[in-house]
Every structure is written in structure tokens, then in C-alpha cells.
């Protein structure tokens, strides 16, 4: 629901990094955990809408949802929690319900890809 | 082509401001609760009753977040509380910067605790840190016992959950507390759960004691 606000912050971050780095940004990798209340399509749509008249107009967003992880308290196995599952979560290795859910992955700008070289400058 | 690693939090600016708020409040020994629920779960009624009942032991300052109107702040003031209203003009959540500004308008020297009543929304507010010492979720029985499973983020991140409107339980409102509790605990083992009715006062004494403990805990840290 607040993807437009997130897209605005993301655009500012990429523009600031572009200023430091130089060149034309063409792609950016973003990741987030399932508890961050983000819809991938809405984020891409909002970003495309606001980046059109900026130096980020050719940036293609690659958005990846990271899994929510847990550590089993019994067998120490690390596993992914499936929030879509109807069944109560248990450790897939030992079946224990005694596990610790780890912190959700934050909404991150991981990498930016730049196009360099003179022939692209005329675009 | 060249690639650079950035690895920056997209909401980093809000996170930094939230950290400033939390350090500022910790420095004064004040707990700060970020109360989140869907619209109509009874947050304001709950706070108004809490403020009245605790007037002699804990002084609570309330920051009210709503898309528009000052209805909620007015209700808190009618209950004898201190409240600052923030209007988000359509935004679905409060930001740490808005809370910082509101903190500056509260008479902090006369208060023991800050309670932020976030915009009524079960999804977005849980993604924005405000500088709170704890998130508190409110779920009313009329909303249904499947909400923790369907909207896991808030329930996974809350230190306390109030299950409100317990007085409505009956043939028309079929809410399985065990199911809701199990779904919340699946992702959040240590959450405190308080079944209450802010209307009748049922179960509220345990909640008041939890609030007193929050104040004692922050004071001990000074």
C-alpha cells in the first residue's frame, strides 16, 4: 500500500549513488522479507512511474523476496517458514515446534548496474 | 557494464530517525508503545479507558495518527489525557519524523509513558519503525480469529496483543481464541496476550499491570 513512498526513497538512493559513481544506471537489485508489507508488482509500477524523467529512466528493477528463516531449538536445523501454509510450522527435519523465528530481511537496495562507455551517452 | 554493491536500507532515513526517537525516550526513561490494529478494533476506546483507570499511577501522553480529523485526540482529551493529533493526509502509516515532531509538542516532563496510536491499518504501519520500545497489536473478536494467519507481519513483531471486545463473544461472533493464539505464537513465542473488553473493563487489570511493568523497566535502565 505504501509502495509509492518506498519507490520514492529507492529513486533518491539510486540517484545519490549514481552521482557518486557516474555513468548511467540500467538495473537495480532490491530485496525484502515477507513481513515488510511490500507487493513486488506495485513497487515496480510505482518506480517506473516516478523515474521516467530522471537519470533512472532506464533502470530495470529486480525485486527478490527473501525467505523468513527459523532455527530449530531441538536439532539446530535452519529452515524457511512458509507463511502460505495452513498447517502449523514445524521443523522439517525433526518435526519439532520449538524453533526461533529470525528477523525478517529488511527492505534493501543491494546493487546497481551501470552502463559505461561513450556510445551510450547520446541516449 | 559495471556493478556496485550498495546494501543500503531503502527506509534507512526513517530507521535513523526512529533510532533517534528511541534514544531520546530511553534517555528520559520513558517507554513508548506503538499501538497498531485495523480500523475499528477499539484502540482509542482502549486508551481512553486505560488513561482514566491509571490516572493516579501512570501519566500517559498519546500521539494520535489518522488520515484526517482530530476525533481520536478529542476522545483522549475528554478522558483526561494529553494528546497530539497527526493527520497523515492519506498516508497509510505514521513515520518516525512525524512522531519526533509530535514528541516536541508533548509536556514530556509531566509524563511517564508515550503511546502512539497508529493509523488504523493491519498491514503497513508494522513496516515503519517509530522509535517505540514495543509494538502492541489490538485485534477485536468481531474481525475473526483468522486475522493473525492472514496478516502475520504485525502479530510476528508485537510484544503484546490485546484481543478486544471479548464482551461480544456469542452466537453472532464466533472467535476461537485458541486458534488465534496458536497462529500468533507460531511466529512469536514470547508475545503477551490479553483478552479484554475496553467497553466493560473485563481483563483490563492485567493489561494495566503490564503497562506499569513497562514503566518500571525503562526507569531501571536509566
Nearest-CA distance from A112 to chain B in Å?
A: 5
Q: Do A106 and B9 touch (CB under 8 A)?
A: yes
- Measured between alpha carbons, how far is A59 from A26 in angstroms, rounded to an integer? 4
Contact of B3 with chain A, judged by CB distance below 8 Å, is answered with: yes
Pairing assessment for the beta strands B134-140 and B32-36 based on DSSP bridges: parallel
Give yes or no for residue B217 having a pLDDT over 60.
yes
Give yes or no for residue A122 having a pLDDT over 70.
no
pLDDT confidence band for B191 (50 / 70 / 90): very high
Residue position matching grid coordinates 532506464: A58
Q: What is the pLDDT of residue B98?
A: 97
Nearest-CA distance from A27 to chain B in Å?
A: 9
Query: Residues 85-104, chain B: which have Cβ within 8 Å of A?
Result: 91-93
Query: Which of A5, A9, A110 lies at the smallest CB-CB distance from B7?
Result: A110
The percentage of residues in chain B with a pLDDT greater than 70, rounded to a whole number, is: 100
Count of positions (residues) in chain B: 222
Pairing assessment for the beta strands B60-66 and B113-117 based on DSSP bridges: parallel
Contact of A48 with chain B, judged by CB distance below 8 Å, is answered with: no
For the segment B121-152, what is each residue's pLDDT rounded down to a tens digit? 999 999 999 999 999 999 999 999 999 999 99
Q: What is the pLDDT of residue A1?
A: 76
DSSP string spanning B131-195?
A: S-SEEEEEEEGGG-TTHHHHSHHHHHH-SEEEEE-GGG-SSS----HHHHHHHHHHH-TT-EEEE
Give yes or no for residue B36 having a pLDDT over 80.
yes
Q: Tell whether the torsion through CA atoms of B49, B50, B54 and B58 is positive or negative.
A: negative
Contact of B190 with chain A, judged by CB distance below 8 Å, is answered with: no
For the segment B80-125, what is each residue's pLDDT rounded down to a tens digit? 999 999 999 989 999 999 999 999 999 999 999 999 999 999 999 9
Q: Do B8 and A114 touch (CB under 8 A)?
A: no
Q: What is the pLDDT of residue B194?
A: 98
Distances (CA, A) of A50 to A5, A11, A45, A78, B82: 10, 8, 9, 39, 40
Query: Residues 108-137, chain B: which have Cβ within 8 Å of A?
Result: 121, 123-124, 126-128
Give yes or no for residue A123 having a pLDDT over 90.
no
H-assigned helices in A22-96: 40-51
Q: Do B127 and A38 touch (CB under 8 A)?
A: yes
Q: Do B153 and A88 touch (CB under 8 A)?
A: no
For the segment A90-117, what is each residue's pLDDT rounded down to a tens digit? 999 999 989 999 999 999 999 999 997 5
Query: What is the pTM assigned to this prediction?
Result: 0.93
Amino acid at each position: 500500500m505504501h509502495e509509492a513512498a518506498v519507490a520514492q526513497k529507492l529513486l533518491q538512493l539510486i540517484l545519490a549513488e549514481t552521482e557518486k559513481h557516474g555513468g548511467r544506471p540500467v538495473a537495480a537489485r532490491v530485496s525484502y522479507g515477507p513481513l515488510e508489507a511490500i507487493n513486488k508488482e506495485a513497487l515496480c509500477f510505482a518506480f517506473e512511474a516516478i523515474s521516467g524523467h530522471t537519470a533512472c529512466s532506464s533502470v530495470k528493477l529486480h525485486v527478490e523476496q527473501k525467505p523468513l528463516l527459523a532455527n530449530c531449538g531441538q536439532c539446530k536445523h535452519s529452515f524457511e517458514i512458509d507463511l502460505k501454509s495452513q498447517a502449523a510450522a514445524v521443523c522439517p527435519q525433526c518435526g519439532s515446534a520449538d524453533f526461533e523465528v529470525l528477523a525478517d530481511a529488511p527492505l534493501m537496495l543491494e546493487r546497481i548496474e551501470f552502463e559505461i562507455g561513450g556510445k551510450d551517452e547520446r541516449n | 557494464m559495471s556493478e556496485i554493491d550498495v546494501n543500503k536500507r531503502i527506509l534507512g532515513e526513517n530507521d535513523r530517525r526512529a533510532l533517534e526517537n528511541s534514544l531520546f525516550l530511553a534517555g528520559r526513561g520513558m517507554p513508548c508503545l506503538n499501538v497498531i490494529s485495523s480500523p475499528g478494533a477499539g484502540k482509542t476506546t482502549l486508551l481512553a479507558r486505560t488513561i482514566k483507570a491509571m490516572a493516579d499511577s501512570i501519566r500517559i501522553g498519546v500521539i494520535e495518527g489518522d488520515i484526517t480529523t482530530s476525533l481520536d485526540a478529542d476522545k483522549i482529551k475528554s478522558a483526561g489525557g494529553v494528546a497530539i493529533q497527526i493527520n497523515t493526509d492519506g498516508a497509510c502509516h505514521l513515520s518516525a519524523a512525524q512522531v519526533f515532531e509530535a514528541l516536541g509538542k508533548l509536556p514530556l516532563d509531566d509524563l511517564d509513558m508515550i503511546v502512539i496510536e497508529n493509523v488504523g491499518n493491519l498491514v503497513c504501519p508494522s513496516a515503519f519503525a517509530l522509535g517505540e520500545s514495543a509494538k502492541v497489536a489490538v485485534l477485536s473478536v468481531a474481525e475473526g480469529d483468522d486475522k493473525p494467519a492472514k496478516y502475520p507481519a504485525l502479530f510476528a513483531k508485537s510484544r503484546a496483543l490485546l484481543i478486544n471486545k471479548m464482551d461480544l463473544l456469542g452466537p453472532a461472533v464466533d472467535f476461537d481464541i485458541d486458534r488465534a493464539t496458536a497462529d500468533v505464537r507460531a511466529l512469536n513465542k514470547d508475545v503477551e496476550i490479553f483478552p479484554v473488553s475496553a467497553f466493560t473493563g473485563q481483563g483490563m487489570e492485567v493489561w494495566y499491570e503490564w503497562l506499569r511493568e513497562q514503566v518500571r523497566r525503562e526507569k531501571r535502565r536509566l
